[in-house]
Structure 1
Amino acid sequence: MIEAILAWASEHRDQALWLVPLLAFMETCVGVGLFVPSLMLVIVCSVFYANDWANLWLMAGMALVGSSLGDHVGYYVGRALGPKVEETRLVQRHINKWRRTENLVRRYGPWAIFIGRFIPAIRSLVPAMVGITDFPRWRYTPLDLAACSLWALGLVAIVRGAHEVFLP
């Protein structure tokens, strides 16, 4: 799949940069994120950076926006559906991840927003779980933006580090 994405990006370089926020959104959006590996975004950003197709900091900013939008979709789904989310077939198929996420949110509260952002297996579930707990909206957005900012800096470090290791 990644080969097809990169082939498309190579043919459509003027539009390819929009893959960055799209992939960031998809990997963090509740439900979708269970099927979109975070490695796809890292690979796409690495290829774009190595081929000088895009500025690394611009990609990090676009990834930050895409990931925060995905988180907010999950948060508002959690607020809207509440505990009914757990009864969905999708969550039932991934009930172990759901339980891990629930334990994380109960144990660490607001810190779960930061912790969950860096655990790919549950990244897309944390915002929904936080929304289910009726965590205040006015507190969620700044915490999520801060967590996504740290995550975007991590993306920069990974992409730049890989570039220096593999293309010195």
Structure 2
Amino acid sequence: MRVFGIDCGTEITGFGVVDSDESGPLSRIVCRAAGAIRLPKSMSLPERLAQVHQTLCAELDRWQPEVVAIEEVFYSVNAKSALKLGQVRGVALLAAAQRNLPVAEYAPLSIKSSVVGYGLAKKEQVQFMVARLLDLPELPEPPDVADALAIAICHLHTAQTLALQGGRR
């Protein structure tokens, strides 16, 4: 299964592509791609949203995932920031919908629990475990890329668990 993970942000949106490899005696997760869409503050919000959409569409077309995994909406103290983040998230969802890709959404606590084993883990812990699980030579940078890969890993773990239980996601 190929999963495209997206970590939405108003300054940096991270993405990562992971595959589950069942070919050997032990299943493993392989990183196929990872990147960051940097959104300069000098750009207007519509320009930023267009850049996110164009880049995600190009990457989705390039990697042909079976599913897109994205972080659920979380509540923020700053309503204006939450609204902007929601708009970036909407553009990501649109890119997936335009390609008829199913979207799986996960809460931040679930993602961190799945990857680190602790729902309140710090960004550095997520980066370390993502590098470890994917056998990467160095920590994924910026942290948004590690978060996107963590979201994709979370989906693979969840799908494997549901498959073992006889269900699907």
- Shorter-chain TM band: under 0.3
TM (norm. structure 2) is 0.28
TM (norm. structure 1) is 0.28
Larger radius of gyration: 1
Higher strand proportion, which one?
2
Higher helix proportion, which one?
1
